[in-house]
Structure 1
Amino acid sequence: MPSPIDKIAIIGTGVIGSGWTLRLLAKKKEIYVFEPSIKQKKFLLDEIKRTTKSLKNFYKISTISTKKLYFKKTIRDAVKDVDLIQENVPENEKIKKKIVKEISKWSKPNAIIASSSSGLLPSRIQSACKNPARFIIAHPFNPVYLLPLVEIVKGEKTKLDFIKKSEIFYRSLGMIPLIVKKEVEGYLSDRLQESMWRESLHIINENIASTDDLDKAIIHGPGLRWSLMGTFLTFHLAGGKQGMRHMLNQFGPSLKLPWTKLKAPKLTKKLSNRIIKGTKKQSKGKSIKELTTIRDNFLIDLLKLKNKYKI
């Protein structure tokens, strides 16, 4: 579905802000940039040069034009006429509130203000926003110009209409919006990554393995499967013909074993049913056998590709 949002302001051109700009350029949007740092402005221009070949190949376009890329000297000039503002200042609540307050002062009343925050609560940031109903978190993943996921998180005062408009917009950029049901620090993906990161730090601290060992444990094992199925569908297949139901009965008791520094929740009947129901829905009517074949074919292709790009 096409989005009426065509004019976008980018506030801050670090790694994330530049990544947004590259994706928007590939989608031929009109972009207004505010970046007070000459160094960061140069970084963006260098990134455009560095990625042009990859972007043309990825988006199947003949050229990356900067004719509709405008640098503005003030936030006011950058945001006054746009439909959506993507804020990318440092991950500091005080700084973000200050910038969002200024953005909301000069932008159109119904222009969406989207923060690229990777973990701060939207309700706290939007408290400084004029017309906070239009404020959302739109958390992307690096590199923004390639990875499709964007987590959309609403605050207490965000209205559903702006969530829907933003979802349509990000889909028009070729992204996959994931609407987070409840605001929570770290949102979804970063919380999952953080749990692995913390466990990894414990393992390193106790001299159980090296950083290389831990990276290999993911790269050559579950990481390959996760790029297709994620944790739940992977474990659904581990249960054989009965899927997740058998997997929980078989391996549920291991939650009580000291396999992690994280304390697991009690595997209640309610939690089990929620997991079983969820994986059944994910399977979309496909049998374990069908899902296994899809996984195997994917892994064969992925391993061939992986062997082409060795570090």
Structure 2
Amino acid sequence: MQDPKNISRVACVGTGVIGGGWAAHFLARGYDVLAWDPGAQAEAALKRLIETAWPALESLGLAAGASLDRLRFTDSLQEAVGDVAFVQESGPERLDLKRKLLAELAAATGEETIIASSTSGYSMTDMAAEAEDASRLVVGHPFNPPYLIPLVEVVGGERTAGWAVDQACAFYELAGKSVIRMERELPGFIGNRLQDAIWREALHMVAEGEATVEQIDQAIVDGPGLRWALMGPCLTFHLAGGEGGMAHMLDHFGPALKEPWTRLEAPELTKELRDSMVEGCEREAGERNIAELVRERDRGLIAILKALRESNTGGARQ
């Protein structure tokens, strides 16, 4: 196994919006990037995408040695992946194509090369069905645009070796990503399932004439979206319980789970679920008490609101 700290070159296979975004991210982090895509105009489109993204990346701060000159578009898949330790696959979201492409990548790379798929929802167990060696295949699910949104969700399939998941997580962290290592395969992963729950309820409200598109977006942008950028829904509700934290919030508001506030059926609030939520929030809070968390949240909200006003973007312009 190659030490992730020693990886200096990566391959991006598939260079559309997601694959191109990955290429921009890796370049900004100081890697050499070998890119390949079978599309007729893929090379030109990739260069346009990266040139568009580069000013934002410069504003965030480039790693030492980062340069657009470290990108090379290759003539073949084999040329792109033959001598790299990490491959980011971002082909079209079609299961038949993913199976074929991942099998080809596994055959074309060395036994220590990690191959990560940017799939939005397929399991690696399903995608790896045609690969002779699936031990090095993992999911590395990003959020768009990958060069700005830090999250990547990592999970292996039934035939993925544990060391490959370890290596992928370590590499992504070194490459500046916020990594969730999932313990089990889950359709849509974590982030997409949460997004999808809001999206489906939004569609229901529009379909029933209960809210407009503009109202739905405003409700998130000027409401919970601001808080979620800082603490996420669980720690946010932990604060909603006041000094009693999540325990008080669940004990006080738990019955509201039975109210018809969404079309989703709420799970039964068992003692085990309640205790899991409470313990999770306590772990996340660490040594910070409620008052400290509130001050931290408020400082962050003020910074976000000021940034939105200065950039004149978003809905929060009070």
What is the TM-score normalised by the length of structure 1? Answer: 0.96
What residue in structure 2 maps to residue 310 of structure 1?
Answer: 312
Deviation at 1:162, TM superposition (A): 1.0
1:294 equivalent to 2:287? Answer no
After the TM superposition, which residues 93-242 of structure 1 pair with which residues of structure 2 at under 5 Å, given as runs?
Answer: 93-242=95-244
What residue in structure 2 maps to residue 40 of structure 1?
Answer: 42
5+ residue gaps, structure 2: 314-318
Deviation at 1:33, TM superposition (A): 1.1
Q: In structure 1, how many angstroms separate the alpha carbons of the residues matched to 2:41 and 2:217?
A: 33
Picking from 228, 233, 251, the partner of 2:253 is: 251
In 2, are the aligned partners of 1:16 and 1:88 still within 8 Å (CA)?
A: yes
Query: Percent identity over the alignment?
Result: 38
What residue in structure 1 maps to residue 30 of structure 2?
Answer: 28
Which amino acid letter does the alignment assign opposite residue 139 of structure 2? Answer: I
Deviation at 1:63, TM superposition (A): 7.7
Picking from 7, 10, 17, the partner of 1:8 is: 10
- Secondary structure at 2:214's aligned position in 1? helix
In 1, are the aligned partners of 2:29 and 2:66 still within 8 Å (CA)?
A: no
Deviation at 1:68, TM superposition (A): 2.8
Deviation at 1:118, TM superposition (A): 1.0
Which amino acid letter does the alignment assign opposite residue 247 of structure 1? Answer: M
5+ residue gaps, structure 1: none
- Secondary structure at 2:210's aligned position in 1? coil
Q: In structure 1, how many angstroms separate the alpha carbons of the residues matched to 2:153 and 2:34?
A: 23
What is the TM-score normalised by the length of structure 2? Answer: 0.94
Which has the higher mean CA deviation after the structures are superposed, 118-127 or 190-199? 118-127
In 2, are the aligned partners of 1:56 and 1:64 still within 8 Å (CA)?
A: no
Q: In structure 1, how many angstroms separate the alpha carbons of the residues matched to 2:54 and 2:124?
A: 34
Deviation at 1:222, TM superposition (A): 0.4
- Secondary structure at 1:260's aligned position in 2? coil
Q: In structure 1, how many angstroms separate the alpha carbons of the residues matched to 2:98 and 2:77?
A: 13
In 2, are the aligned partners of 1:225 and 1:295 still within 8 Å (CA)?
A: yes
- Secondary structure at 2:73's aligned position in 1? strand
Deviation at 1:57, TM superposition (A): 2.0
What residue in structure 2 maps to residue 264 of structure 1?
Answer: 266
In 1, are the aligned partners of 2:81 and 2:109 still within 8 Å (CA)?
A: yes
In 2, are the aligned partners of 1:104 and 1:130 still within 8 Å (CA)?
A: yes
Q: In structure 1, how many angstroms separate the alpha carbons of the residues matched to 2:136 and 2:298?
A: 44
Q: In structure 1, how many angstroms separate the alpha carbons of the residues matched to 2:41 and 2:253?
A: 53
In 2, are the aligned partners of 1:139 and 1:150 still within 8 Å (CA)?
A: yes
In 1, are the aligned partners of 2:137 and 2:160 still within 8 Å (CA)?
A: yes
In 2, are the aligned partners of 1:52 and 1:64 still within 8 Å (CA)?
A: no
Which amino acid letter does the alignment assign opposite residue 102 of structure 1? Answer: E
- Secondary structure at 1:113's aligned position in 2? strand
Q: In structure 2, how many angstroms separate the alpha carbons of the residues matched to 1:99 and 1:5?
A: 23
1:64–1:46 CA distance, 2 compared to 1 (3 A): farther
Q: In structure 2, how many angstroms separate the alpha carbons of the residues matched to 1:221 and 1:183?
A: 32
1:276–1:165 CA distance, 2 compared to 1 (3 A): same
Deviations 1:20-56 (A, max 9, x none): 1001111221221111213332221112222222222
Cα RMSD (Å) of the superposition? Answer: 1.5
- Secondary structure at 1:38's aligned position in 2? coil
Q: In structure 1, how many angstroms separate the alpha carbons of the residues matched to 2:28 and 2:135?
A: 29
In 2, are the aligned partners of 1:10 and 1:88 still within 8 Å (CA)?
A: yes
Deviations 1:180-223 (A, max 9, x none): 11101000000000000001110000011110000000000100
